[in-house]
Amino acid sequence: MGGISRIMAAWGAGCGAGWGVAIALIGVPGAGWAQVPVAEPVTERPITDEYVTRLYENGLQHIQRQNYSDAIVLLDEVIAIYPDYAPGYVSRGYAHAELGDADQAIADFSEALSLDPTYGEAYLSRGALYLELGNYPAADADLQQATAYLSDNAQSHFLLGVVNETQGNMPGAIALHTRAVEINPTYADPYLHRGTIRTEQGELQAALSDFTRAIESRSKFGAAFLNRGTVHFALRNPEAALLDFDDAVSSDASAIAYFSRGYVASLLGDPQEAFDDFTRALELEPNYYLAYVNRGVVRATVGEMERAVQDIDRAIALDPFNPIAFKAKGDVYRLSGDSNAAILEYTQALTLDPNMESALQARADVRLSQGDTMGASQDLTQALSLNPDDPEAFSTRGALRTSMGDSFGAIQDYNRAVELNPFNADAFFNRGVARRDLGDRAGAQQDLRRAAELYRQQGNGNGYRNAVSQINR
C-alpha cells in the first residue's frame, strides 16, 4: 500500500517571508501507511501421516524462501489428501496473497473458516487482506473476530487499529495500537501509527517518543525517520530534522525523503544540497509538484531567476489549479525586483484560494513597499481574520503602522509577533527602531542586540551588519 500524505504547517522561511511550502507528513491516519501483511502461515503439524506432514512442512519452507508457486503445488496436494484440514487453506491462501491473487486467497481463508468458524488466524489473514484491498467494513468484521479469538496477538490488534483510523475513530485506534505494543513491545508499526495520530492531534512530544520506539524496534524504518524528522521540524529543531531525513534517505531513498531533506537544507542555507535533493526527488517521481516549486525557489535564491520561473511553470502545468506555485512565482518576481509581476501572481493564487494567508501577507508586503497602505491594510486585515496568531502578519502590520507614523501601534504588533515567534529577527529589529523613535533608547538597544544575534545565528550577514550599525545611533 502506498503512503498517504498530508501537509503539515511549516515554520520559518526561505528567502523573504513565507515561501510556505510545507514538509509532507507520511503515514497519517487514512488508509494506513505500513504495508499490511497477511498473517503468517500456520506452522503446526497437521496430522500423523508422515508423508503429508513432509509435504506441508516443505510447503511452509517454500513460503519462507518466497517460492510461493512451489508452495502452492505442495499445499494443493496436502489439501487434496486432507480436504478438511483448515491450516492448509490458510497457508495456501497466504501464498496466493503474496502472488497477488487476492480472490483465490480470500476463497482459501473463507474455506478454512467454513471448516472451523473459530479459527482466529483465518480471520486475521482474511481481515488483513481486506484491509489491503480497501474493503474496510469486511476488514473490520474479520479483525474484530481475530482479536476475540487471538487476544494476545499483537498483529490483529494493530490491524484493527488501522481500520479504526480509516473510520476516523482515533481514540479507538490509539487504544488498539497501545494494546499491540503491550503484547509485543518491539512491534514497530503500531508505534509509527500511534505517533502519526498523536502528531495530527498536536501531541508532538508523545509522537516523538513513538517514532523513536519504532526506530529502536526497526533500525532501517524510513517512514519513522521521516515522521520523526517532521516532528523535529514542527518543534523548530531543523538540525535534528535534517539528521532524521538523512536516515530516511539512507533507509528507503524515497522521493519524499529527498524532498524533505532538501526543504530543510534550503532553510538552513545550503542551496546546493537542497537543489540536489529536489532534483533527485524529481528523478524518482517526475510529476512531483512540490519538488518543482521548491527547486524553483532555491534557484531564485542563487539568482537563477529564469530557471526558477521555468521550474515553477512546470509545476503549474502539472496542476494549474493549485495556488502554491503561483504564490512561489510571485515570490520569485518579488525577489527579482518586479513588484507588479509579483502582485499579479499573488492575485492569481488568491483567485484560486481566497483564504491563502501566505499570499495575502506577501501581497501586503509588496503593496506596502509601493506605498499602497490601503491595499496592504486590507490584505493584512483579511490575513489576521484567517489566522489571528500569525506572527508574520503582525510583523508586516507593524511595518505598515510604522509607515503611517503610528509607532505605538507598530510596537503592539511587533510585541505580538515576537511573542508568537521568538526567532523573528525582523520583528525585533523593527520594534527596536520604533522604540527609539518613541525615545525608549534602552528598549531599542535591547531589541537591536537581540535582532543582531538572531541574524547572526540565521546566517543573515546583511541583517546582522545593519542591526549592529543601528545599536548606538
pLDDT tens for each residue of 440-467 = 999 999 999 999 999 888 878 888 999 9
pTM of the entire predicted model: 0.78
The reported pLDDT for the residue numbered 21 is 34
pLDDT class of 411 with cuts at 50, 70, 90: very high
For the chain, which domains are there? Answer: 33-167 (1.25.40.10), 389-471 (1.25.40.10)
- In which band, very low, low, confident or very high, does the pLDDT at 47 lie, cut at 50, 70 and 90? low
What was the pLDDT predicted at 16?
29
Please say whether the dihedral angle defined by the alpha carbons of residues 200, 203, 208 and 210, taken in this order, is positive or negative.
negative
Question: Mean pLDDT throughout 338-342?
Answer: 96
Only one residue has cell 511595518, namely: 399
Neighbours of 240 (CB within 10 A): 17
Neighbours of 207 (CB within 10 A): 25
**In the prediction, which pLDDT does 4 show?**
20
- Tens digit of each residue's pLDDT (9 = 90 or more) over 254-281: 999 999 999 999 888 899 999 999 999 9
Which residues, in sequence order, are bridge partners of residue 24?
7
Distance of alpha carbon 158 from alpha carbon 172, whole angstroms: 11
Instruction: Give the tens place of pLDDT for each residue, 167-225.
Output: 999 999 999 999 999 999 999 999 999 999 999 999 999 999 999 999 999 999 999 99
What is the reported pLDDT for 48?
63
SS3 364: helix
SS3 annotation, 199-261? HHCCCHHHHHHHHHHHHHHCCCCHHHHHHHHHHHHHCCCHHHHHHHHHHHHHHHCCHHHHHHH
Report whether pLDDT(41) > 90: no
Determine the Cα–Cα distance for residues 64 and 79; give it in Å rounded to an integer: 19
Mean pLDDT, rounded, of the chain: 87
User: CA-CA distance, 324 to 321, in Å (whole number)?
Assistant: 9
Confidence band for 49, pLDDT divided at 50, 70 and 90: confident
DSSP 366-389: HHHHTT-HHHHHHHHHHHHHH-TT
- The dihedral built from the CA positions of residue 187, 188, 189 and 195, taken in this order, carries a sign that is positive
Task: Place 26 in a pLDDT band, splitting at 50, 70 and 90.
Answer: very low
Average pLDDT over residues 354-358: 92
Answer whether residue 384 shows pLDDT above 60: yes
